[in-house]
Amino acid sequence: MKVLQLVKTSVGATWALKQMRELVKLGVEVHVALPTDGLLIEKYKEFGITVHAISYSLSHLYTSCKRLRQIVEEVNPDIIHSHFVLTTFIMRMALRADKRPRIFQVPGPLHLENIFFRKLDLWTARKNDIWVGSCKWTNDCYASNGISHDRLFLSYYGNDRMYEKSQVCNKIHKELNLNEDTILIGMVAYMYPPKYYLGQTRGLKGHEDFIDAIALVSQKYPQVYGICIGGPWKNGEAYEQKVKRYAQRKTDHIYFLGMRSDIPDLYADMYCVVHPSLSENLGGAAESLALGVPTVATRVGGFTDIVIEKETGLLVPPKDPDYLAHTLIDMLEGKYNLVKMSECGERLVYKMLDVKNTARTIFDIYHQIV
């Protein structure tokens, strides 16, 4: 079986790359069409994936469509598998007369939460278009908008079993010269500026809500500090500075550690970690659960697939820092068995999100639709 994958970046989206790697091991001839200016290109080649250069651009739609048609003619795949809204839209525009199966594996629910982009997705689809949601919320949304179950599948983007618990103790405490009794509550996420065209006024990952919640918690428990890890996404430097200024106005109990490569060591020093996203698939919750760290997440998107209330973690409403603060205070006051929840979360994540298993699901979907 020959499959052409469409990916809009060769800098990120390692989740798509790892899935392709496993599909190659299962005997699929994998081709990928993506920009070739990123560091991951050599990884694609190393894994036995044939690379085809393309630039996806709405401002140069004609050129993008023409190049994609050239690649499809050259490869002649059995299936075309797209991983982004942009690549899916260009695929559908370029290949309107093409009858072969086309998969849109939906990496996150953001575009479905906006009526214009949701309708655009549905209106541009044809009978040979198939959706693979990567969380239950996404599939429920498509089903409620009239997509039949024979065109709708579920498969998570998996990962390697790469999260090994750190043996390093008190790394953040030592780095920031904090007392041993200081309690650290973490947030690990890139800083995504608000998408104003979607009506957002705060960043997608909820940094402002995290800051507000820590400000409230630290008023009652002064030994609590918030730790933000992660830098700006793409051209988000101005937003990063805006977030830091916001934190300075709200509280002196927030530290920003920026981009780090020692995430497991930092997680090991946290009392718990918060994922206050406004929209999300599984997001960073998969990472914190895999590392056995008590996890709090907003009740959005795919978070609810793995953060099961009072079983693997705790859920809070999005855009509600007061509720988040009260939940953190309840945790600090011993109202939940955090050890038991962390152990359950770790087991669930490794069972659900092993990339070998998730890629096998995609492999089975291929055979079902061909």
User: Of 279, 277, 108, whose CA–CA distance to 208 is shortest?
Assistant: 277
Greatest alpha-carbon span in the chain: 66
* pLDDT at 197 exceeding the cut of 80: no
147: region left, alpha or beta (phi > 0 left; psi from -120 to 50 alpha): beta
User: Of 104, 70, 74, 63, whose CA–CA distance to 86 is shortest?
Assistant: 104
Residue 87 confidence (pLDDT): 98
Beta strands 224-229 and 183-188: pairing type? Answer: parallel
CB-CB contact of 3 with 29 (8 Å): yes
Backbone angles phi and psi of 154, in degrees to 5 = -125, 130
What digits encode the pLDDT tens for the residues 252-295? 999 999 999 888 899 999 999 999 999 999 988 999 999 999 99
Higher pLDDT residue, 13 or 225? 225
User: Of 214, 203, 211, 350, whose CA–CA distance to 280 is shortest?
Assistant: 203
Q: What are the b/e assignments for 328-366, b being 16+ CB within 10 Å? A: bbebbeeebebeebbebbbebbbebbbbeebbbbbbebb
Rounded (to 5) percent helix, strand, coil in the chain: 45, 20, 40
Which pair of tokens denotes residue 284? 């960073």
Which pLDDT band, with edges at 50, 70 and 90, does 201 fall under? Answer: confident
In Å, what is the CA distance from 279 to each residue of 72, 91, 141, 317?
Answer: 33, 25, 14, 11
* pLDDT at 234 exceeding the cut of 80: no
Residue 354 confidence (pLDDT): 92
Residue 235 confidence (pLDDT): 79
Q: Which residues touch 279 (CB under 8 Å, ≥6 apart)? A: 108, 109, 110, 113, 204, 300, 301
Which pair of tokens denotes residue 182? 């200081």
What digits encode the pLDDT tens for the residues 83-129? 999 999 999 999 999 999 999 999 999 899 989 999 999 999 999 99
Residue 196 confidence (pLDDT): 73
Which pLDDT band, with edges at 50, 70 and 90, does 307 fall under? Answer: very high
Q: Calculate mean pLDDT across residues 37-66.
A: 96
Which pLDDT band, with edges at 50, 70 and 90, does 198 fall under? Answer: low
Residue 159 confidence (pLDDT): 85
What digits encode the pLDDT tens for the residues 317-351? 999 999 999 999 999 999 999 999 999 999 999 88
What is the spatial distance between Cα 273 and Cα 188, in angstroms, rounded to a whole number? 8
* pLDDT at 194 exceeding the cut of 90: no
Residue 228 confidence (pLDDT): 97
* pLDDT at 226 exceeding the cut of 60: yes
Residue 169 confidence (pLDDT): 83
Q: Calculate mean pLDDT across residues 44-52.
A: 97
Q: Calculate mean pLDDT across residues 39-67.
A: 96
Residue 162 confidence (pLDDT): 55
Which pair of tokens denotes residue 246? 């916001």
Mean pLDDT taken over the chain: 94
Which residues are 309's β-sheet partners? 313
Q: Which domains does the chain possess?
A: 2-160+354-369 (3.40.50.2000), 171-352 (3.40.50.2000)
What digits encode the pLDDT tens for the residues 139-175? 999 999 999 999 999 999 998 865 667 777 889 999 9
* pLDDT at 297 exceeding the cut of 60: yes
Which pLDDT band, with edges at 50, 70 and 90, does 236 fall under? Answer: confident
